Homo-oligomer: A and B are copies of this chain.
């Protein structure tokens, strides 16, 4: 294991050899059951996608607290709000393209404006959903939730973090959006890795350049950093799992100390993590930036890894962004 990895995060030992591969959605599925055990008020709503959103275990464990909505995402958001007003802690769940995409206005008014304690779960997020094609690849969900007042936006990085996040968000009394992917991805954190909403975690120390990443791209960033360390480039990697409220302090510090930033996300370049970081940086400590993201186009069918590669959403894409930004430093 690389010496630059920040010890306090107890990352997986096998991270650069053969990390375990588990879908982040499994973490959600297990986490929401834990949350349900801890709090009787936790209820789950789902729009005819119980299995693939990983709500089947919750349904099995708490049949009376599982509500089948059918294919009606707008109604789900409103019912969620009503349940929250009556003291429940509803997790409303569908694919990220439809939830928050099909019910955005309901999330805005019934949930965010009203401070309804609803947890919005966007499954199958990102292009890695693969063969289903562009319509099912949520690449704008961060943009359309980040702009909503009162809403916390979380993009956990792997199985463990998704599980911990599901448990943590059940404990706060405010609306949350969380997105996670369908495919197996490397498990880079461990049971011991601390997780705190709103804090960006510096997984890897470095002084030449910073990569601020979220979701599955954190792993790719670590791999990119490892590669570049061989050429003597010292890359800091920040896991920015909470997109909103964003951890300004950690980002400003990184800008000041490393003087260049690359962002990496499985999302459109406009409106996502890259914009969130550019907003903070330009306002506090302007440094050159590069973005690893979807460059304002729709996705397409293909295998997840083929697509991540095609659109440069991998360690290779991050390496070239780093090289580019270093030239501008």
A interface list, Cβ under 8 A from B: 97-98, 101-102, 104-105, 108-109, 112-113, 134-135, 140, 143-144, 146-150, 244, 261, 268-272, 274-276, 278-279, 281-283, 286-291, 296-298
Q: In whole angstroms, how far apart are the Cα atoms of A279 and B104 in the complex?
A: 24
- Which one, B281, B286, B289, B297, contacts A149 given CB within 8 A? B297
Least Cβ–Cβ distance between A143 and chain B, in angstroms: 4
Least Cβ–Cβ distance between A174 and chain B, in angstroms: 13
- Which one, B271, B281, B296, B297, contacts A282 given CB within 8 A? B281
List residues of chain B with CB within 8 A of the CB of A147: 140, 143-144, 268, 270-272
Least Cβ–Cβ distance between A326 and chain B, in angstroms: 14
28 contacts between A and B (CB under 8 A): A97-B108, A101-B108, A104-B104, A108-B140, A109-B135, A113-B134, A143-B146, A143-B147, A143-B271, A144-B147, A146-B270, A147-B272, A149-B268, A149-B297, A149-B298, A269-B279, A270-B276, A270-B279, A271-B271, A274-B279, A275-B276, A278-B281, A279-B291, A282-B289, A283-B288, A283-B290, A283-B291, A286-B288
List residues of chain B with CB within 8 A of the CB of A148: 140
When the two chains form their complex, are residues B286 and A289 in contact, meaning their CB atoms are under 8 A apart?
yes
Shortest 7 CB-CB distances between A and B: which pairs?
A143-B147, A286-B286, A282-B289, A147-B271, A278-B278, A275-B275, A140-B147
Q: In whole angstroms, how far apart are the Cα atoms of A168 and B140 in the complex?
A: 28
Q: In whole angstroms, how far apart are the Cα atoms of A101 and B288 in the complex?
A: 34
**In the complex, residue of chain B having the shortest beta-carbon distance to the beta carbon of A103:** B105
List residues of chain B with CB within 8 A of the CB of A283: 278, 288-291
